[in-house]
A and B are shown apart, each in its own frame.
Chain A
Amino acid sequence: MIHRRTFFKTGIIGAALLGGAYSITSSLKSTPHPDYKFFDKEDLSIMGVFSLVILKGTSIKEEDLPKLLKDIEAAIMGLPPLVQLEVKELMLLFRLRPGRWLLGRNAPWGEASHEDVDAMLNDIKFHSLPIFRGAYAALCELVTASYYANSNSWKGIGYPGPLELSE
Chain B
Amino acid sequence: MTAEPAVVAPVLPAALRERIVAEFPKYPEKRAVLLSALHFVQDTFEGWIPQAVVPEVAALLGLKPIDVWEVIHFYAMFNSEPVGRCHLRVCTNLSCCLRGARGIMRRLEETLAVRPGEVTPDGNFSVGEVECLGSCGTAPVIQVNNERYREGLSEDDLPGLLDELRTRLAEQDAAKDEE
Q: Do A and B come from one complex?
A: no
